[in-house]
Structure 1
């Protein structure tokens, strides 16, 4: 499935709105592989998105699932709530006092994808059980596990995955660590690919910090069968990213919306920046899981205090983030972005996909 792509580019499943059926179909139409993001969606809403994609394209596409984890420390979440309360009161926002168990409709989504299979299913934050993986395999789905370490790669191999998405520290949005409490590694993507290649011969998809043909070609030369792009598509015509998110990427990139060419991993481990908004930071402040975002006032205020509790922190901060989005306040929103965000540009997603592949071919 991955090695047969005409264009070895995968559109990352970006949960929360940026990924749309139109974006999936556009990347498919250019010869790549589009992915729906089922995270934060019910099984019913996921089925609706699948139906929408099928109306737009007859090419293979994927669906990504968030694997539920263990509950977080309730006392730590309570303490973080009290820290956020003055801010909530300032904006007239009511914070949820408790977050009950949340499995992201996991069982219903597995049942949906078993009964109505899609060509590809991928997993973030962990792996399915052996029975779940076997059921989807029997249904005919190609399965991809997201991994951030060789140990996670070995677990995915044991779980029967058909390919691995190797996510480096340069990636925007959530790191796909299999345990919420794990601190994500800082091994640059190209080195991480080499480490994981030593423990498995499964096809590898390289993800993180890829925003131009040169870095795409470098990942393929390092042994990847394909690359996965997320931030690169945030400003495209088919993206569902908000105007505020798009504008923040543009401001971070400078007056022309573009920036200097950086090596993969050049600022992968940088936790701070000299000027708010001009660099990215890995933070738990918004969701309780490590995620790379544009640095802003919210990350500066709360990153040191956010507990490793997901999805409890996600639900806790959701009203604050929604209020910030409504008032277009980029200083308080979660603005996911990878280290190559300065290279994100506008235009049709299919055109971007083809251009990046043409550039990569010229690079050899």
Structure 2
């Protein structure tokens, strides 16, 4: 009976979103070229793009390229902006620490405007628009639903998940602490305390929510897919497992750092952005954890500072963010479509 309920739950989700496999590409900003999303969608899953850093015209261009390659579904994801934090002394301390790596380059031009990004996403009309780090305003949620676009909200605890459901989310993405990159803690200052593994978080959310729950964090193969679905998820969201695929096109050094990386070697850090994320312990990341290192500046100041020192060619500053989930060692250097197909075939066999 439990197996039949799992099968029906997954089937309902797949039929709603036009999927052949309940596998969603994680919307990883900077690592979601259209080619990766196309490959995932063509294999029966859902492609994705993280647009937090994208100007509106880039959002439009990405969607055009995606639609030229597939008629499958995709989601666009954006961060809800943090409340500005005025902490000049903390910024100055971060600048002094970065100066130890070399000279900065030019400051970046102003970033994209959140409201304009939201308009571009609406105009692009993906199957899903998802949020992380908070909730959309009610008016925007109403506009999404009038356009037939679903809203997925990321959450790391039950209180945030319930708030998302109450605000009109069509599904909640349960992000376990195993996840690579950033997780969607609504309060940036307590992210370290929201340290719950996926297979404890997932059934806790499923038991209290009416909307479907999508499992994310540490899912690297069919075993993880099957386990998540058995625990009540309607689908899974996968990021690190796709990073070594040729379609992802990430930096060779980043890709190589994932090979054989044990779960316990990944670390959480604010060094790249000021927001907590899970990464490879590169010398740059490790330096920010030393006893004499200051706290990184708040988001988005830290992200801008790191970008400025990168543009200056400072030695020792990672050229890219080496994000990595705890299942990084399972990431295969294989085509993304094959990864989706193999995951789902192995999961179906385990669930049969």
User: Can you list the C-alpha shifts for 1:285-323, whole angstroms capped at 9, x where unaligned?
Assistant: 111000000012112211363346111110011133456
Match of 2:272 among 252, 265, 286: 286
Q: In structure 2, list runs of 5 or more residues that go unmatched.
A: 1-11
The answer for the alignment partner of 1:38 in structure 2 is 51
Q: Partner of 1:199: helix, strand, or coil?
A: coil
The answer for the alignment partner of 2:336 in structure 1 is 349
TM-superposed deviation, 1:333: 4.7
**Structure 2 residue 316 is matched with structure 1 residue 316:** no
Give yes or no for contact 2:33–2:247 (8 Å, CA) kept in 1: yes
Q: Partner of 2:154: helix, strand, or coil?
A: strand
| C-alpha separation in 2, matches of 1:158 and 1:100 | 37
The answer for the alignment partner of 1:264 in structure 2 is none
The answer for the alignment partner of 2:115 in structure 1 is 107
**Structure 2 residue 345 is matched with structure 1 residue 363:** no
Q: 1:75 to 1:13 in 2, by over 3 A?
A: same
TM-superposed deviation, 1:347: 1.6
Q: Partner of 1:200: helix, strand, or coil?
A: coil
The answer for the alignment partner of 2:287 in structure 1 is 301
Q: 1:308 to 1:94 in 2, by over 3 A?
A: closer
| C-alpha separation in 1, matches of 2:168 and 2:312 | 42
Give yes or no for contact 2:105–2:312 (8 Å, CA) kept in 1: no
The answer for the alignment partner of 1:262 in structure 2 is none
TM-superposed deviation, 1:132: 1.1
Q: 1:310 to 1:101 in 2, by over 3 A?
A: farther
Give yes or no for contact 2:310–2:318 (8 Å, CA) kept in 1: no
**Structure 2 residue 102 is matched with structure 1 residue 94:** no
**Structure 2 residue 235 is matched with structure 1 residue 248:** no
User: Can you list the C-alpha shifts for 1:3-37, whole angstroms capped at 9, x where unaligned?
Assistant: 42320100001102x11111111111111111122
TM-superposed deviation, 1:350: 0.5
| C-alpha separation in 2, matches of 1:113 and 1:297 | 37
The CA RMSD over aligned residues, in Å, is 2.2
Residues 188-199 of structure 1 mapped to structure 2, 5 A cutoff: 188-199=197-208
The answer for the alignment partner of 1:64 in structure 2 is 77
The answer for the alignment partner of 1:263 in structure 2 is none
**Structure 2 residue 223 is matched with structure 1 residue 214:** yes
Give yes or no for contact 2:26–2:239 (8 Å, CA) kept in 1: yes
Q: In structure 1, list runs of 5 or more residues that go unmatched.
A: 254-258, 260-266, 271-278
Instruction: Give the alignment's TM-score, normalised by structure 1.
Output: 0.85
Give yes or no for contact 2:94–2:297 (8 Å, CA) kept in 1: no
The answer for the alignment partner of 2:6 in structure 1 is none
| C-alpha separation in 1, matches of 2:207 and 2:89 | 41
Give yes or no for contact 1:9–1:229 (8 Å, CA) kept in 2: yes
Q: 1:305 to 1:95 in 2, by over 3 A?
A: farther
Match of 1:165 among 140, 162, 173: 173
Instruction: Give the alignment's TM-score, normalised by structure 2.
Output: 0.88
Q: Partner of 2:49: helix, strand, or coil?
A: strand
The answer for the alignment partner of 2:5 in structure 1 is none
| C-alpha separation in 1, matches of 2:119 and 2:330 | 39
| C-alpha separation in 2, matches of 1:149 and 1:351 | 33
The answer for the alignment partner of 1:122 in structure 2 is 130
TM-superposed deviation, 1:100: 9.4
